[in-house]
Amino acid sequence: MKRFLIPLGLFLVLVVFLAIGLNRDPHEVPSPLVGKPAPDFKLGVLAAPDKSFTPADMRGQVWLLNVWASWCVSCRAEHPLLVAFAKQGGLPIVGLNYKEVRGDGGIDAKKLSADDELALTRQRAGAWLSQHGNPYTLSVLDMDGRVGIDYGVYGVPETYLIDKKGVIRFKQIGPITPEALEKKILPLARQLATES
Amino acid sequence: MTRSRLTSCAASAALAAALTLGAASPLLAAEATPMADNPVVEARLVAISEELRCLVCQNESLAASRAELADDLRREVRKLINDGKSDAEIRDYLVARYGDFVLYRPPVKPTTWLLWFGPFVILAGAIFGLVAYLRRRSTRLAPATLSDEQKAAAQALLGTPHAPPKDNA
């Protein structure tokens, strides 16, 4: 009997490894930015054409940066949750409108002038928010996706929890689920709120 | 959960299939990304991006992927090359944003020791096990020397290979 124990043990180790492998989502690539200062940027604000926003404006607050776009299907799944969360006044949410025009495969953005693209971005993003509700303190326009690259965005939606000092503390890849909100984001945000 | 950009993998696969079927289609040719003016920059871009993984279509390199993010990242890499950045600096730029996952050759560091050296540890263990087994086996087996009688019997059997089989009937 004893001679079977070694292969059996090896087999069980293999099963454990395979089970762990099966339960991990390969599309969730852990972000190296967690624990690092949120990359700086300066982008135009959706609702106020003459204003711009930079992450430094949120210094002293715990806040969420949510990457969205009107062409993003999964954003629709997550959006009601964000709207409800914003109504409770949980945390300020800043929207990063990501490649609103260029990300939409149906539009040939290369044919648009910069001004036309900006106008179309504002129109599409604004219409989407009035249709689905606006949970954002404000939304900024990342038309070419440059800021998205700095934040390591590789799909929409993604959400970053940023602390009072401007350090990224958590990244949600894909839509925020009620579980992720209750179990991860909110407890961490409460803890961060007590930090000075 | 499917995310919006992931669908472009399927789209790019379909497009690749379409390209193979109708390689001369002018409609598709018009959509190809134009090469930059400088062939040296392009060659370096290809060399660097072949070693990098596309995050959207994870089994494709950044050089081969038609995902939109890959387009954006190639544009960034091209810009960094034009800025005079070294290959290592460009890789660091992408690793800082997307993590070691973008590298097809992961760096050797404590968290990847198991990955790099694990196979050799298993190989060493297997060789050790094999040697131990063979040693034990050779001591356990009786020395294979035959007595003179046995030798003669073996000789008799081997010496008449063409002997007709015994008639059992």
A149 interfacial to chain B (CB closer than 8 Å): yes
Nearest 5 degrees, angle CA B53-CA B83-CA B75? 40
Integer Cα distance of B68 and B73 in angstroms: 9
Integer Cα distance of B121 and B118 in angstroms: 5
A94 interfacial to chain B (CB closer than 8 Å): no
**Confidence (pLDDT) at B4:** 54
Q: How far is CA A1 from CA A8, A141, A169, B137, in A?
A: 11, 68, 52, 19
User: How close B59 gets to chain A, by Cα (Å)?
Assistant: 11
Residue A102 three-state SS: coil
Bigger pLDDT: A125 vs B33? A125
pLDDT single digits (tens) B100-129:
989 998 889 898 899 899 999 999 999 999
In chain B, how many H helices and how many E strands? 7, 0
User: How close A35 gets to chain B, by Cα (Å)?
Assistant: 12
Q: For an interface test with B, which of A154, A156, A159, A179 has the most B Cβ atoms less than 10 Å from its Cβ?
A: A154
The ipTM of this complex is 0.83
> Residue A157: which H helix or E strand, with range?
none
* Residue contact B11–A151, C-beta within 8 A: no
Per-residue DSSP letters for B49-113? HTTBB-SSSTTSBTTT--SHHHHHHHHHHHHHHHTT--HHHHHHHHHHHH-GGGBSS---SGGGH
CA dihedral for A114, A119, A124, A125, sign (positive or negative): positive
Span A39-67, mean pLDDT? 94
Q: Is residue B75 scored above 80 in pLDDT?
A: yes
**Confidence (pLDDT) at B160:** 62
CA dihedral for A81, A86, A92, A93, sign (positive or negative): positive
B79 interfacial to chain A (CB closer than 8 Å): no
For residue B5, list chain A residues with Cβ-Cβ distance below 8 A.
103, 154-156
Relative to beta strand A93-98, strand A138-142 is parallel
Span B61-87, mean pLDDT? 91
Span A171-181, mean pLDDT? 93
Integer Cα distance of B21 and B19 in angstroms: 5
* Residue contact B1–A74, C-beta within 8 A: yes
pLDDT single digits (tens) B13-35:
555 555 444 444 444 444 444 55
Q: What is the mean pLDDT of chain A?
A: 92
Q: Is residue A23 scored above 70 in pLDDT?
A: yes
A26 interfacial to chain B (CB closer than 8 Å): yes
* Residue contact B4–A71, C-beta within 8 A: yes
**Confidence (pLDDT) at B16:** 52
**Confidence (pLDDT) at B9:** 59
